[in-house]
């Protein structure tokens, strides 16, 4: 049988029992999760530095990627380490801190979902209405949208966890436990069903327009090659960006769907349970995958990494480097 120990031995029956897995397995698990946490923070920090430093990368689309990278960076730096500690030890910070702690992951997950919706809108306008893209999707519009996304995420987390602040520890069955119950129906609709429906509809439209544009290009390129050369180049780059961001959205759906599909069964998810821990780590792992996708599909990101690692960004006027 699995060994167990009391969280608070002096309290006996009112103290939770924590399982004690074999030391070798526990050590291997902690090392793996710590590596994922470190890799997530490091890769997303590279994305943040790249887009912030190099002026040529200051585009509306990249500002959305910057916002997404900030939330992913905080997941790797703050959320995953605490989750690692919670999976192997008792909660010793009290019921109020338990309720307060979960504000951070709820805010970051909500912000990530909002950023994905904004990215889908950006690609929809770029592909389906390219003539008005520059006028409608400006850096100012994107900045306001990103700020609104983060503010809404904060207020949403307060609404979702308000009851736990009024009565901390209401779902704990013993000392040393940290359980926070989220209204599954509300969270399912606000952070999954509505955003996913918007993302899928927009990308289906983008896909249809992209296919029709590709056919039009093939049929007319020979006749009007010189006249449309600039337009075709622009459309090609926009389509490539749409494909890359489509991969980001697809990976996001794969990592987030299991958690919310469990909610579709009608069960409320106890945050702090083993089921929730596995689902949460799958969502957090998405934060590590995003910069890996950028490295695979974006030459400018690979070039930026090389310049950052070799400290060439410390040279004067390095922010003016040609990255595209």
What pLDDT shows up at residue 1? 39
> 180-182 and 269-271 as β-strands: parallel, antiparallel, unpaired?
antiparallel
Q: Which of 24-33, 116-125, 210-219, 225-234 is predicted with the least confidence, judged by mean pLDDT? A: 225-234
What pLDDT shows up at residue 49? 95
| DSSP assignments along 202-249, one per residue | HHHHHHHHHHHHHHHHHHHTTTSHHHHHHHHHHHHHHHHHHHHHHHHH
- On whether the CB atoms of residues 52 and 124 are closer than 8 A, the answer is no
Q: Which residue has the higher pLDDT, 167 or 232?
A: 167
Q: Which residue has the higher pLDDT, 259 or 269?
A: 259
pLDDT at 270 over 70: no
Identify the band that residue 280 occupies on the pLDDT scale cut at 50, 70 and 90.
Answer: confident
Distance CA 6, CA 176 (A): 9
Q: Which residue has the higher pLDDT, 163 or 35?
A: 35
Nearest Cα to 235, choosing from 124, 119, 130?
130
What pLDDT shows up at residue 265? 66
Question: Mean pLDDT for the chain?
Answer: 81
- The burial of 150, by beta-carbon neighbours within 10 Å (0-12 exposed, 13-18 middle, 19 or more buried), is given as middle
What pLDDT shows up at residue 228? 45
- On whether the CB atoms of residues 92 and 73 are closer than 8 A, the answer is no
Distance CA 22, CA 2 (A): 9
What are the structural domains of the chain?
Answer: 20-316 (1.20.1070.10)
pLDDT at 21 over 70: no
Enter the tokens of residue 16: 């939770």
């Amino acid at each position: 049988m699995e060994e167990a120990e009391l969280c608070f031995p002096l309290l006996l029956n009112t103290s939770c029992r924590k399982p004690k897995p074999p030391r070798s397995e526990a050590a291997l698990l902690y090392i793996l999760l710590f590596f994922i946490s470190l890799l997530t923070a490091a890769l997303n920090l590279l994305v943040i530095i790249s887009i912030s430093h190099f002026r040529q990368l200051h585009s509306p689309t990249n500002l959305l990627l910057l916002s997404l990278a900030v939330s992913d960076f905080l997941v790797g730096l703050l959320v995953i380490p605490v989750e690692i500690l919670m999976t192997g030890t008792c909660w010793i910070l009290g019921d109020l801190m338990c309720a307060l702690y979960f504000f951070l992951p709820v805010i970051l997950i909500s912000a990530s979902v909002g950023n994905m919706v904004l990215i889908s809108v950006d690609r929809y306008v770029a592909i389906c209405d390219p003539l008005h893209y520059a006028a409608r999707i400006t850096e100012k519009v994107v900045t306001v949208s990103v700020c609104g996304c983060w503010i809404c995420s904060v207020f949403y987390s307060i609404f979702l966890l308000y009851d736990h602040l009024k009565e901390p520890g209401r779902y704990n069955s013993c000392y040393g436990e940290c359980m926070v119950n989220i209204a599954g129906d509300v969270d399912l609709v606000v952070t999954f069903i509505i955003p996913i429906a918007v993302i899928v509809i927009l990308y289906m439209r983008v896909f249809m327009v992209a296919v029709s544009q590709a056919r039009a290009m093939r049929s007319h390129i020979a006749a009007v090659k010189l006249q449309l050369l600039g337009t075709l180049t622009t459309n090609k780059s926009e389509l490539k960006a749409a494909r890359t961001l489509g991969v980001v959205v697809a990976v996001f759906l794969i990592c987030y769907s299991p958690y919310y599909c469990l909610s579709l069964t009608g069960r409320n998810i106890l945050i702090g349970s083993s089921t929730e821990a596995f689902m949460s780590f799958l969502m957090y792992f998405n934060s590590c995958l995003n910069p890996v996708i950028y490295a695979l599909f974006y030459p400018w990101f690979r070039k930026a990494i090389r310049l950052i690692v070799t400290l060439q960004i410390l040279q004067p006027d390095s922010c003016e480097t040609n990255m595209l």
